[in-house]
């Protein structure tokens, strides 16, 4: 497996990309670093989502449920004087517990009902945030007393390092025997079960792993932004951006989610002068890539897009 990894052009592409990204603070402005920092956190959101959908075959339409649990748990505890490290841990644990509570009944249903269940979970979380506004900040938002750093370069390197480690772990899981079982379970759960694999157990494990990285990334994002709100972390539209980033970057690639997230945020910022038209242009470009390059932007860069399109 290690030898195959070194022969894989994707490995070298990621390594070169990380090397170039690590020196960006030396010659770009703090404004650009801020945009990329946000993109890296969204890249982790997309990678975690891709593990569940791309491999386990479960369409999670509510990734922001896990993200929001991690973010708000960390932010609320910090407001009560708890230090950042413990807040990050608590946010991660809350996302995992919430993921288990959601996944145990949701994985019993088939087809689109799992996706609908996750959407309902997001709507419930939104309502809870509004109802308990005294604690959560409601629609106005929650402001946290502490931030990781006020230095743009430091925040950038933390986000880059976290993204790199997350991508490595998630990719290692994806190419491991567990990842192969997840693929088999996602493509044909009946046949996978007939072969002796515990489909429900493996999908539940995938959901928990996705929850760990979503919750931790959400908690870190709060301490970067200094605030949490429904519109920036929990709203369904934010979840759609996470999903598009994963599919746009390349489904079943894990690391493609980073590329998709960077593209969406960079394109949205570049086209900001167009006003509301910018959303249409970015969405149209994303749709074109998804339709004509099934392997996504990552497949296009590694020159696999054409062959994947022919196979599809």
Q: Which H, E and C letters describe 134-186, residue by residue?
A: HHHCCCCCEECCCCCCCCHHHHHHHHHHHHHHHHHHHHHHHHCHHHHHHHHHH
Integer-rounded Cα radius of gyration of the chain: 19
Q: What is the pLDDT of residues 180-232, one digit of tens each?
A: 888 877 677 777 777 777 777 888 888 899 999 999 999 999 999 999 999 99
d(CA 2, CA 133): 50
How high does pLDDT run on average in the chain? 86
Check residue 192 and give its pLDDT.
73
For 87-91, 134-138, 251-255, 306-310, which range has the lowest pLDDT when averaged over its residues?
306-310
CB 202 within 8 A of CB 182: yes
d(CA 55, CA 48): 11
* pLDDT, mean of residues 31-60: 90
Q: What is the pLDDT of residues 136-185, one digit of tens each?
A: 999 889 999 999 999 999 999 999 999 999 999 998 888 888 878 888 77
Buried (b) or exposed (e) across 232-264, using 16+ Cβ within 10 A?
A: bbbbeebbebbbbbbbbbbbbbbbbbbbbbbbb
CB atoms within 10 A of CB 182: 27
Structure-model confidence comparison of residues 273 and 300, the more confident one: 273
Domain residue ranges of the chain, discontinuous segments joined by +: 31-234
- 310 falls in which pLDDT band (50, 70, 90)? very low
304 has a pLDDT exceeding 60: no
2 has a pLDDT exceeding 50: no
d(CA 37, CA 151): 12
Sequence-separated (6 or more) residues with CB below 8 Å from residue 273: none
CB 233 within 8 A of CB 218: yes
305 has a pLDDT exceeding 70: no
Check residue 307 and give its pLDDT.
47
- 111 falls in which pLDDT band (50, 70, 90)? low
d(CA 231, CA 72): 13
* pLDDT, mean of residues 253-275: 89
- 5 falls in which pLDDT band (50, 70, 90)? low
Check residue 7 and give its pLDDT.
65
Report in angstroms the alpha-carbon separations of 62 from 54, 166, 210, 242. Answer: 15, 20, 12, 10
d(CA 158, CA 279): 29
DSSP string, 70-121: HHHHHHHHHHTT--HHHHHHHHHHHHHHHHHHHHHHHTTS-TTHHHHHHHHH
């Amino acid at each position: 497996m290690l030898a195959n990894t070194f022969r894989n052009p994707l490995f070298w592409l990621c390594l070169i990309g990380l090397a170039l990204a690590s020196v960006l603070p030396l010659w770009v402005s703090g404004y650009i670093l801020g945009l990329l920092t946000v993109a890296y956190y969204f890249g982790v959101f997309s990678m975690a989502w891709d593990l569940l959908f791309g491999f386990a075959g479960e369409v999670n339409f509510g990734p922001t449920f896990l993200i929001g649990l991690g973010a708000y748990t960390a932010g609320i505890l910090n407001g009560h004087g708890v230090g950042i490290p413990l807040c990050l841990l608590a946010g991660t644990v809350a996302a995992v517990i919430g993921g288990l509570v959601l996944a145990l009944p949701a994985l019993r249903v088939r087809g689109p009902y799992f996706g609908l269940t996750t959407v309902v979970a997001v709507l419930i979380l939104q309502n809870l945030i509004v109802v308990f506004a005294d604690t959560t900040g409601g629609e106005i938002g929650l402001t946290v007393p502490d931030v990781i750093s006020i230095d743009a370069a430091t925040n950038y390197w933390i986000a880059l390092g976290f993204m790199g480690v997350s991508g490595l772990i998630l990719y290692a899981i994806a190419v491991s025997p567990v990842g192969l079982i997840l693929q088999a379970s996602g493509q044909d759960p009946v046949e996978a079960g007939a072969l002796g694999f515990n489909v429900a157990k493996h999908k539940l494990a995938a959901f928990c792993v996705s929850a760990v990285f979503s919750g931790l990334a959400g908690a870190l994002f709060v301490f970067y932004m200094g605030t949490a709100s429904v519109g920036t972390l929990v709203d369904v539209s934010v979840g759609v951006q996470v999903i598009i980033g994963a599919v746009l970057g390349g489904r079943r690639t894990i690391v493609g989610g980073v590329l998709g997230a960077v593209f969406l945020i960079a394109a949205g910022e570049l086209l900001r002068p167009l006003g509301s038209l910018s959303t249409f242009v970015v969405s149209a470009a994303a749709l074109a890539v998804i339709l004509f390059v099934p392997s996504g932007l990552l497949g296009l860069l590694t020159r696999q897009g054409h062959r994947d399109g022919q196979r599809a």
